[in-house]
Amino acid sequence: MKFAIIEFPGSNCDHDCHYAITGALGHQAEYVWYQENSLAGFDIVILPGGFSYGDYLRAGAIARFSPVMDAVAKFANEGGPVLGICNGFQILTEAGLLPGALMRNVSMKFVCKNIYIKTETSDSFLTHDIDKGEVLGVPVAHMEGRYVADQNTLESLEDDDRVLFRYCDPSGQPSDKTNPNGSIDNIAGVVSAGRNVAGMMPHPERVCEEIIGGVDGLKIFQSMISYLATV
Amino acid sequence: MCRKKRMKASVTVTLKPGILDTQGQAVRHALLSMNGRQITDVRVGKLIEIELDEDDEVAAMKIVTKMCDKLLANPVTEDYDIKLLK
């Protein structure tokens, strides 16, 4: 099982993702430079967090024109699993591989803190091993994390069980108080209609060992691995 | 005689109505504190100026529209307006 971790100019969570997969879980991962144009031989693709292209114009807007994004789109269109974390999520929405958009936080502040998310469905490669309703402690660190989408998109996300996570309190209750960025309906992560492209603002790769504050992120990486074993 | 082909496109990108503009709100608060009590709303957009080597307005409009649809504006959250200046 081999993970591709895409490196854009300005990616900065690539090594954390690599460590989570190889160090914490003992699987294979390789960095793929943004100028590459093939993802042959990989089973799963991760777009890590960071500030690709300095967030110029809009976060993720310029990265989507990198040569590697044609390969990511091809991989996704052939059903391959693709996960975007934070800036990776922003890039996937800009590329049209996920619906909606990520806007400036409602507080106008960069939000960097430990928060809780409630798992809304087990029916995705990202939440395969996680029970619906399970609460995970995962940090966020972003300036543009406010998820927005038009009414039709929101309805289809809800109707098709495509909201993966919502910001909540430790008991799993979502509210305005537990919403770190003003996202509509507390949405923290979504999956595509084909259920193979997912995006989330929180950083699971930052909670993969007790010594750095928790292991809830491992459940997400472990889900991807056990999902891949079933296909 | 060689005629220079030159066109300038002025692209204004604004947030769609109904999309919360946090930047506009921050600016509005600052303006209110300058005693601008008449101010009821502020929305902040972007102005992008593009110079093109093209003298046909229809062709230029087509090129810039494509740029807006693909990169300069996000169709989920933003509207755009193009003005061509020869």
- What tens-digit pLDDT sequence spans chain B (86 residues)? 556 678 999 999 999 999 999 999 999 999 998 877 889 999 999 999 999 999 999 999 999 999 999 999 999 999 999 999 98
The answer, for B66 touching chain A at a CB cutoff of 8 Å, is no
Kindly state whether residue B55 falls inside one of the protein's structural domains: yes
Query: Which of B23, B72, B76 is opposite residue A101, by nearest beta carbon?
Result: B76
Question: Would the pLDDT of A60 be above 70?
Answer: yes
How many structural domains is chain B composed of? Answer: 1
Summarize pLDDT for A111-157 with one digit per residue, the tens: 999 999 999 999 999 999 999 999 999 999 999 999 999 999 999 99
The whole-angstrom distance between A108's CA and the closest CA on chain B is 6
d(CA A64, CA A200): 17
Summarize pLDDT for A190-223 with one digit per residue, the tens: 999 999 999 999 999 999 999 988 999 999 999 9
Q: What sign does the dihedral A76-A22-A125-A144 (CA atoms) show?
A: negative
- How many residues does the structure list for chain B? 86
Kindly state whether residue B1 falls inside one of the protein's structural domains: no
Q: Is the complex ipTM more than 0.95? A: no
Indicate which CATH number applies to the domain containing A103: 3.40.50.880
The answer, for B47 touching chain A at a CB cutoff of 8 Å, is no
* Whether A81 contacts A125, CB under 8 Å: yes
The b/e string for A194-207 (b: 16+ C-beta within 10 A; e otherwise) is: ebbbbbbbbbbbbb
Residues of A in contact with B71 (CB under 8 A): 57, 61-62, 65
Summarize pLDDT for A1-43 with one digit per residue, the tens: 899 999 999 999 999 999 999 999 999 999 999 999 999 999 9
The answer, for B85 touching chain A at a CB cutoff of 8 Å, is no
The residue with tokens 């790769």 is A205
- The predicted pLDDT at position A86 comes to 98
Residues of A in contact with B77 (CB under 8 A): 101, 103, 148
* Whether A218 contacts A25, CB under 8 Å: yes
- The predicted pLDDT at position A77 comes to 97
Indicate which CATH number applies to the domain containing B68: 3.30.1280.10
Kindly state whether residue B59 falls inside one of the protein's structural domains: yes
The answer, for A193 touching chain B at a CB cutoff of 8 Å, is no
How many structural domains is chain A composed of? Answer: 1
Please choose, from the candidates A71, A64, A65, A44, the residue with its C-alpha nearest in 3D space to the C-alpha of residue A196.
A44
Residues of A in contact with B26 (CB under 8 A): 108
Active site residue A142: no
Domain that holds residue B53: 7-85
Kindly state whether residue B79 falls inside one of the protein's structural domains: yes
Domain that holds residue A148: 2-230
